[in-house]
Amino acid sequence: MTSVRQLSLVFLFVLPALLRAQGGPPFITDDPGTPGDGHWEINVAWTHEHRAGETADELPLLDLNYGVGDRIQLKYEVPYVLLHEGGADTVHGLGNSEAGVKWRFYDDEKSGLTLSTYPQFEFRNPSSHSAAHGLVADENTFVLPLEIQREAGGWGVNVEVGAVFPGKSDHGWTYGVVVGHELNDRFEVGAELHGEGASSLQRTELAAMVGLRGKLNEHCYLLASIGRELHNHFETKATLLSYLAVQWLR
């Protein structure tokens, strides 16, 4: 079964249920939420990928978000990447930067439906040698996604679909769905399917994740997720994907 058919089945069964769960960290799929006017959302994270003969870590991954008005979010993200292949020494260096602007252009409190678009640009850092060491792609990339969220009764669903435009290779697609539940006023759990595909969708990758958000205090949260790739037509399938972060809201 292709990744598109798998995602279609998920949408078919979970969208009518009106499940509430925001995307964004610790998930790959994003959501329409913004920090609020003059407020910060800062995530300091550790990500880990394990593939046959290879492990890759982002430590730290710095994710800065700032609210301009109630509907706009500015973002800047940059990781420090560590790559270990077989018996070779670990290679490390600064990853590509990513900047973006999220605009939540539709809110309907009655139905719980919100929509946003979140254009983002990933670019090589000046004087960085990470591409030469195989740590990052040797190209800049523009992503134009649409986020859809619907919520009710402590449950919700978040869907994201977007076009990916690399500077040197063919364009592609990104897509994902997150469903989850607020257990209480401190904890929220969720599950995610997230994929990427070539322009024709003949080659795709699809990952499944489960995650947790825990409120430590009024301004601090613990974010965690773990999962694996179900298939990958681009490279060796990842048998472990994980994300662990502390989030500050100011």
CATH of the domain at 19: 2.40.160.40
Q: What pLDDT shows up at residue 104?
A: 97
pLDDT digit of tens for each residue in the chain (250 aa)?
444 444 444 443 433 333 344 678 999 999 999 999 999 999 999 999 999 999 999 999 999 999 999 999 999 999 999 999 987 889 999 999 999 999 999 999 888 899 999 999 999 998 888 988 888 988 999 999 999 999 877 778 999 999 999 998 899 999 999 998 989 989 999 999 999 999 999 999 999 999 999 999 999 999 999 999 999 999 999 999 999 999 999 9
Q: What pLDDT shows up at residue 143?
A: 98
CA distance 82 to 48: 10
- Domain of 143? 3-249
* CA distances to 83, 90, 129, 135 from 86, in Å: 10, 9, 21, 15
Q: What pLDDT shows up at residue 126?
A: 87
Assess contact for 164 and 196: CB atoms under 8 A.
Answer: yes
Q: What pLDDT shows up at residue 112?
A: 85
Burial of residue 188 (number of CB atoms within 10 Å: 0-12, 13-18, 19+) = buried
First to last CA, the chain: 44
Q: What pLDDT shows up at residue 12?
A: 38
Q: What pLDDT shows up at residue 22?
A: 62
How many structural domains is the chain composed of? 1
Assess contact for 160 and 174: CB atoms under 8 A.
Answer: yes
